Chain A
Amino acid sequence: MNSTVGLSSRHKFAYTWPLAWGVAFAVVAFIWIGGDLWQWAVKAPKELTWKVEALGSCTSVRLCVTGFFKFMVSNEAYIFPWTFKEFTRFVAACIEFPYQIIRSFLASGFTIPLSGGESWQSPPISWLGLTVVLTAVAYRLRDWKLALMVFLCVAYLAVFGNWESAAITLSSIAVAVPIGIVFGALIGILGYRYEKFERAITPILDLMQTVPIFAYLVPVLFLFGFGPVSAVAATVIYAMPPMVRITMLALKTVPLEIKEFGKMVGCTKRQMTWRVLIPAAAPGLMVGVNQVIMLSLNMVIIASMIGAGGLGFDVLASLRRQAIGDGLEAGIAITLIAIVLDRLTQAWASRSPAPHHETKPTLLQRHKNLMLALLILVGTTAISFVAPFFAQWPEQFEISTGQFWNDLIKWININFFDELEAVKVFLLLNVLKPVKAFLLALPWPGVLLFLALAGLQLGGIRLAILVVSCASFILITGQWTKAMITVYLCGISVVIAAMIGITIGVIASRYPVLKRSVLVFIDTLQTLPSFVYLLPVVMLFRVGDFSAMVAVVLYALPPAVRYTLYGIQQISPSLIEAAKTSGCTKRQLLTKVQFRLAWPEIMLGVNQTVMFALSMLVITALVGTRDLGQEVYIALTKADTGRGLVAGLSVAFIAIITDRLISAAAKKRKQALGL
C-alpha cells in the first residue's frame, strides 16, 4: 500500500507481528477447511519408525530406550570392573541393608533365630518411648511450644492407628535422606570446584526438576524391581537435585575473606573444602538438608507405587477402595511427619549456641541427654514385653474419622447430587468438550508454526528453535493426540485456577486480615500430599476428566494467589500515592496501575501454576484421564521403560515450552515497564 511508505520504520515494524500472526492463522484455517485434502497435516502422525540393520530392534525412539535398558541389565554392559547388573545389585544391597535394620528397629522388630528351629521376635521401639524422646528433643532445641506441637503430631500417628505404616515410611525416608544429602553435597562440591562440571550438570538438574516424578519410576522399577529399594532409589533421585544446587550456591556465597583466609594459612585443596568451606557454608547447607527431607516426603505416596509400603500405600489403597476417610487420615499423617521433621531440622539448624564451658566435660557429661534418651527408648521397649500399652496404642481407643467422612460424602451426594451433576454436565458440555475437540482438530503443522512465531516474538531465534524441537519430539514419538489432551486439561485447569487465584490475590491484597488467613490457607493446601486432593473429588464427581480438572485446579491454586499478592505488594507505595493524587478511582487504580505493574509477577505465578498443574495432571491418570499421564501410568504397570520415559519426557517438554515462553514474556514486559 502506498500509505505505508511515509511511515517511520518503527511504525512499519509495529505491524510486522500482527501481520505474521494473521498469515499463520490464515494458513491454519486453510489447512483446516481443506481437511480432506491435507490428511497428513490434520491427523496426528504415527510414531516415527525406521529400519536399519545395524541398530537391530532399535526402530523408534521408544524402542531404542527400552533396548538400551534391556542391554544394561543384560550381562554385557560393563561398568569397570563389574557388569552393570552387578553394579545395580551392589547399589540395591547398599540400600537394602540399612533399610532392613532401621525398619526392624522402628516397625517390625528383629527376628532372632534360636536353636531348634525356633526364633525369638523382639518388639520394635516402643511408640511411647519415641514420642517422649521426640518431644524432649523438641523442647531442648526450641521451647515448649514446639514440644507440644511435636507431641500432638506424633501422638496423632498412634491414636489414629497409623503408627506402623508411619514407621515403615519413616524407615525408607531415613535411608533416602542421608543418601540424598551426601551424594547431593558431593556432586555440589564437584560442581563448585570444576566450572565445566557445573555447566554440564545444570541443564540436567533443570530437566530433572521438570520431568514428572512418575517417569523416573519406570526405569528405576526396571533396574531394581518392585520393593523398598526401588522406592528409596526413586526418592533419592527426586530429592537430590535441590541439594546439589544449594550446595553449589552455599559454597559460592562463602565470604571471599574466609576463602582467602583458608589460602593464607596454607590449606591444601582438601583442607580448604572440608575444613574451611563446608563449615563456613553450614547454614546454607542446612537449607538443602531440609529440602531433601521435604521432597522425600513428597515422594512417599508415589514411591509406594513401586513398593515403598507404609503410609503411601495406605493412601493409594484407600484411593482404590474409595475410602476417603482412611485415605485422608494417612495423607494427614504424611503431612504431620513432614511438619515435625521440618520444624525439628529448622530448630536444630538455628539452635542457640552451646554455651562455652570452663572445664572440659567428661564423655558422660557431654552426652548426658543422649544417654537419657537411649535409656528411655530401651526402657519403654523392654516394658512393652509385659505391658501391651507400651507396645501399641490399644485398638479399642483408636480414633477413626473414616465413617464421618463417608457419611458426609454420602449426605452431600444424596442431597446435592442434582446440583453437582448439573455443574459437571454444564462445564463438560460447554467448556471441556469443545476445547478438547478444537485442540484435537488443530493441524499439527499449525501448532508448530504458532509455537515458532511465539518463540521468535518473545525471545528470538534460539527460543523458537527450542520450543519447536521440544514439540517435534512429541510429534515423532507419536504422542501428539495424548499431548493435546494433556494440554487441554492443563490449559483449562490453569485458566480456572488463575482466574480464581488472581481474584483471591487481588481481594486479599486489600485487607490485611484476609491476607493472613489466605496465606495460612494456601500454605496448608501446599503441605497436603497431592494425592489427598483426589479422594474427595473422585467421591463427589467419580472418575473422568472433570474430576481430574477439579483436583488440578485445587492443587495449582496456591502459586497464582501467592504471586498475585506479592506482585501487588511490591509496587512502590509512592506510585500508588501518585496515582491517587492524580484522581484515580479505586477501580482505575486497580486496572490501570496495580494490575499493570504487577503483571510480570502475576505471569510468573501463572507459570508456576502451569508447572503445578502438569505435575498433578500426571497423577490424575489414576482417576482415568487419557493423556500422557496415563501413558506413564500404563508404562509403569507394564515396566515398559521406553514408553514411560518417552511419555515422561514429553510432559517435561510441554512444561519447558510453557515455562520458557511465559518467562520470556514476563521478562519482556518487565523491561517494557522499566523495572
Chain B
Amino acid sequence: MDSKPDPILSCSEVWKLFGRNAQQFLKENNNVTDDMLSENGLIGAVRDASIEVDEGEIFIIMGLSGSGKSTLLRCLARLIEPTSGQVMFEGENLLNHSEKQMIQIRRHKMGMVFQHFALMPHLTVLGNVAFPLEVQGIDRSERENRALEVIELVGLQGRESYYPRELSGGQQQRVGIARSLSVEPKIWFLDEPFSALDPLIRREMQDEFLRIQSVLNKTIVFITHDFNEAVRLADRIAIMKDGAIIQIGTPEELVINPADDYVEEFTNDLSRAKVLSAKTVMSEPEPDAQVGGRVSSSAKIQDLAEELIKSELPFHVVDKNDNVIGKLTRDAVVDVLVKQP
C-alpha cells in the first residue's frame, strides 16, 4: 500500500472537562468514569477524542445535542483550550503557539460558519463579508473586490448593500459562508450551519454547499446532528456520544458495521439504498455470465435501482480500471430496497 499523506488537521487524546481543577484531576486519574467526574463536579464535554482530517475531505462530526461536538470543534480551532491532549495543524502543535501566532493562523488559514450566523448587525452584506479582510488591514478597494467575488460565489450578487435584518435565514447563512471564505482558508469549520433553517431551505443550502465545495475543494470539518445531512455531505463521519468518539468511518461503513446500538440507532432512520454502493451488495464475479450491463463499484444502489429492476439479467460490477470485480443481481438490489425502515 502506498503511504498515506499526513493529515492536515488532527487531534489526539483531547480532553475537555468543564469545572474546577480539571487539569489536576486528569493528571491524577487514568481511567475516568462518569461517577468520578460527577463526584468532582466536572462535566466531561470531550473525552479522549482523536481524529485525523485529510486534505480536501469533508469530515463530519455528528452526535446528539450535548454530545460535545461544538466543544471538540472549538478545541480544534483553539477557541477553547483543551484540558489535555494535542491538536496538530499543518504539522505543528496549535497548543504551543502564542496568542500572536494564533491570530495569524486564524486570519489566514481558518474560516468558521456559525449556527446562528453571527453576522454583524451594523454592517451590510458587503461590510460583513469584507470584515475578516478589514481586520487584516487590507485596503478598501482590494477587500471589497475580493468580497464581491465570494458574494457572487454564494449567489448573493445584487444584495451587497442589504443589512442582515433585511435577509431571510438562508440568505443570512450564505453571507456567513461567504464571509468565512473571503480569506481563502486552508481549513473550513462549519458548526451546524443549516440547523437553524427550515427543512426545504436546508436541502437547498446543502446542494449549494456541495456546489461550492466542488469548486473550491476545501478541507472541511462540519458538524451536524442530522444523520441524513451527514450522509449526503460526508466523506467520513465521526460519531460522538457523551463526549467520546464512538466510531469513525465512511457512511457506508457505519451502515454496514455499526460499532454499537447507538450508531445503529442513527442508521436505522436512513434509506440504505442511498448509502450502500454496488461494491457492498455485489456477489462473486461471474465474468462469463450473460449480463444486462456494467455498473461502477462505487455507484449507490439508489441510483442503479431503476435500471436494475427493469432488467432480467444481472450486471457486472467494475472497478476504476474497468476490471470486473463482482456481480449485482436484481434480488440483491430488491433486498436493499425492501429492508428500508
Does B340 count as interface, using CB distance less than 8 angstroms? no
Q: How many A-B residue pairs have CB under 8 A?
A: 67
Residues of B within 8 A of A255 (CB): 116, 118
Decide: A261 and B114 in contact? CB cutoff 8 A. yes
CA A570 to CA B111, docked complex, whole Å: 47
A242-295, CB < 8 A from B:
255, 257-258, 260-261, 263-268, 271, 275-276, 279-280, 282
Decide: B106 and A266 in contact? CB cutoff 8 A. yes
Decide: A271 and B135 in contact? CB cutoff 8 A. yes
Residues of B within 8 A of A353 (CB): 163, 165-166
Decide: B132 and A257 in contact? CB cutoff 8 A. no
Does A356 count as interface, using CB distance less than 8 angstroms? yes
Contact of A280 with B79 at beta-carbon distance under 8 Å, contacts A261-B114, A265-B132, A266-B104 already known: no
Residues of B within 8 A of A356 (CB): 124, 161-163, 166
Residues of A within 8 A of B114 (CB): 257, 260-261
Does A357 count as interface, using CB distance less than 8 angstroms? yes
B159-214, CB < 8 A from A:
161-163, 165-166, 183, 189
Residues of B within 8 A of A280 (CB): 120-121
Decide: A263 and B79 in contact? CB cutoff 8 A. yes
Residues of B within 8 A of A53 (CB): none
Contact of A279 with B122 at beta-carbon distance under 8 Å, contacts A264-B106, A353-B166, A358-B161 already known: yes
B104-126 near A? 1/0 per residue, CB < 8 Å? 11111011101111101111100
Residues of A within 8 A of B120 (CB): 258, 276, 279-280
Residues of A within 8 A of B135 (CB): 265-267, 271, 275
Does B131 count as interface, using CB distance less than 8 angstroms? yes
CA A260 to CA B112, docked complex, whole Å: 9
A245 to chain B, nearest CB (A): 23
B134 to chain A, nearest CB (A): 8
A210 to chain B, nearest CB (A): 34
Residues of A within 8 A of B118 (CB): 255, 257-258, 260-261
B80-112 near A? 1/0 per residue, CB < 8 Å? 000000000000000000000011111110111
CA A276 to CA B104, docked complex, whole Å: 18
Does B218 count as interface, using CB distance less than 8 angstroms? no
Decide: A266 and B163 in contact? CB cutoff 8 A. no
A103-130, CB < 8 A from B:
none
A369 to chain B, nearest CB (A): 20
Residues of A within 8 A of B115 (CB): 257
Contact of A266 with B74 at beta-carbon distance under 8 Å, contacts A255-B118, A260-B114, A280-B121 already known: no
Residues of B within 8 A of A263 (CB): 79, 106
Besides A255-B118, A266-B105, A266-B108, 18 more A-B contacts (Cβ < 8 Å) are A255-B116, A257-B114, A260-B74, A260-B79, A260-B118, A265-B135, A266-B102, A266-B135, A267-B135, A268-B103, A271-B135, A275-B135, A279-B122, A279-B123, A353-B165, A356-B162, A356-B166, A358-B161
A-B pairs, 6 with minimum CB distance? A266-B107, A356-B161, A257-B118, A265-B132, A266-B106, A261-B118
What is the interface of chain A, defined by CB distance below 8 A to chain B? 255, 257-258, 260-261, 263-268, 271, 275-276, 279-280, 282, 353, 356-358
Can you report 17 A-B residue pairs in the complex whose CB atoms are below 8 A from each other?
A255-B116, A257-B116, A257-B117, A258-B118, A258-B120, A260-B79, A260-B118, A264-B110, A264-B111, A266-B132, A266-B135, A267-B103, A280-B121, A353-B163, A353-B166, A356-B124, A357-B161
